[in-house]
């Protein structure tokens, strides 16, 4: 049986080995969180690697995706204040400024100052930027849907519901 098939068929994985070892060595403590949290961390790393690889192959990167996708999702006229981009991406003002410098140099976004309040900067998606993000998102979603192959539609919905509850719990705790 191939390693991939073994992993998807319900056989033990390396996390099971870790849990079993801890239970053997420290039967006095509850180590059950390892079974969920370690798998979540490992899955997260694998998902990030898969996305980074896909974006590289599509000719872009995560910082570019985050800014352009935020602007595209905002709807026509695809324009937001820098503070709105910061909030949507959870990236610092300095990091956003650097990203915008690079994207503006590539002709993907345009920055303009507000006529009434010069402290406010608006960022607009250019046609070139919109064409890029539309192409990248379509191909990225196609690739990322394959990462859900182990699950049927019902399982995907259940997983989404559980992960949503878990994320809301973390975000409420902030």
Chain mean position to CA 35: 23
Supply the range of the domain harboring residue 131. 62-137
Look at residue 151 and tell me whether its pLDDT is greater than 90: yes
Residues 43 and 82 in one domain: no
Q: Is position 27 within any domain?
A: yes
Residue among 167, 171, 174 at smallest CA distance from 44 = 167
Residue 52, pLDDT > 80, answer yes
Query: Could you tell me the pTM of the whole model?
Result: 0.80
| End position of a domain, from candidates 34, 60, 86 | 60
164 located within any domain = no
Please state, in angstroms and rounded to a whole number, the distance separating the CA atoms of residues 75 and 151.
32
Q: With 50 as the cut, is the pLDDT of residue 77 above it?
A: yes
Q: Is residue 9 part of a domain?
A: yes
Is 159 within the bounds of a domain?
Answer: no
What total of structural domains would you count in the chain?
2
Is residue 12 assigned to a domain? yes
Report yes or no on 74 lying in a domain.
Answer: yes
pLDDT at 12: 83
Q: Is position 143 within any domain?
A: no
- pLDDT tens digit sequence for 88-132: 988 888 999 999 999 999 999 999 988 788 788 999 999 999 999
Q: How confident is the model at residue 22 (pLDDT cuts 50, 70, 90)?
A: very high
Q: Are residues 67 and 22 in the same domain?
A: no
Please indicate, yes or no, if residue 119 is contained in any of the structural domains.
yes
């Amino acid at each position: 049986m191939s390693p991939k098939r073994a992993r998807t068929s319900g056989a033990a994985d390396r996390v099971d080995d870790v849990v079993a070892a801890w239970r053997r060595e420290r039967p006095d403590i509850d180590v059950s969180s390892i079974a969920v949290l370690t798998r979540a961390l490992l899955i997260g790393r694998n998902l990030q690697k898969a996305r980074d690889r896909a974006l590289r192959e599509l000719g872009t990167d995560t910082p570019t995706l985050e800014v352009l996708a935020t602007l595209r999702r905002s709807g026509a006229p695809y324009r937001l204040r820098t503070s709105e981009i910061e909030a949507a991406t959870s990236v610092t003002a300095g990091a956003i400024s650097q990203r915008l410098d690079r994207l503006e140099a590539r002709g993907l976004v345009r920055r303009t100052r507000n006529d009434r309040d010069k402290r406010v900067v608006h960022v607009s998606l250019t046609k070139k930027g919109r064409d890029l993000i539309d192409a990248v998102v379509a191909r990225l979603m196609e690739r990322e849907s394959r990462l859900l192959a182990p699950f049927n539609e019902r399982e995907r919905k259940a997983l989404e519901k559980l992960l949503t509850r878990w994320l809301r719990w973390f975000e409420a705790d902030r």
